Amino acid sequence: MSDPIKFRPLMVLRLETAAWQEFGSTPQGALTIVPVVGGSFAGDRLRGKVLAGGGDWIMADANGTFSLDLRITLETDDGALIHMTFGGVRDDANHYLRTTPRFETAASQYAFLNRLLAIGIGEIRAEGPVHVIEEVL
């Protein structure tokens, strides 16, 4: 018997997206790029806004499952920049949208982000994607 892995809330990330760019079928699958033009994030340990310039590179496989590949820049309310990426799976048939975010920052007060793994539960809402992200303890 194994102990379940424990988690701790990290942030809720809300993304503002621009018009999807549909590329159609590429050799790897059907590609859609969802540009991220803004947003916000908030948690006990960090909060701030999402800078424009990022996006999610989404590849659909033949079974209608999507592979996510997001990269964005976060700016905290005290001025630190955080490079954030995630891979993930979106399977609409099973209402499943899970991501594995990673963070990189040079700001010492957020260096803990460089040392953790995280899991996100995503939801596509009318106002845009919302990801509830928890640290893997």
Partner 1 sequence: MNTRLLMTMQVNVGTAQNIGAVPYGTRRTAPISGGTFEGPRLRGTVLQAGSADWLLLRSDGVLELDLRCTLRTDDGALISMGSFGLRHGPPDVIAAIGRGESVDASMYYFRTLPRFVTAHQAYAFLNRLVAVASGERRPQGPIYTIHEVL
* Residues near partner 1 (CB under 8 A): 2-5, 7, 61, 63, 65, 87-89, 91, 94, 96, 98-100, 102, 111, 114-117, 119, 121, 134, 136
- The string of DSSP codes covering 84-97 is EEEEEEEEGGGTEE
Taken in order 16, 18, 24, 25, is the CA torsion positive or negative?
negative
**Closest CB to partner 1 among 53 and 64?**
64
| CB 49, min distance to partner 1, A | 25
| CB 5, min distance to partner 1, A | 6
| CB 16, min distance to partner 1, A | 24
**Closest CB to partner 1 among 6 and 125?**
6
Closest CA to 67 of 13, 101, 30, 39: 30
**Closest CB to partner 1 among 61 and 127?**
61
Residue 85 buriedness (CB in 10 A; 0-12 / 13-18 / 19+): middle
**Closest CB to partner 1 among 95 and 125?**
95
| CB 119, min distance to partner 1, A | 6
How many residues appear in the chain?
Answer: 137
Q: In which residue are the tokens 């990022």 written?
A: 54
3-class DSSP state of 135 = strand
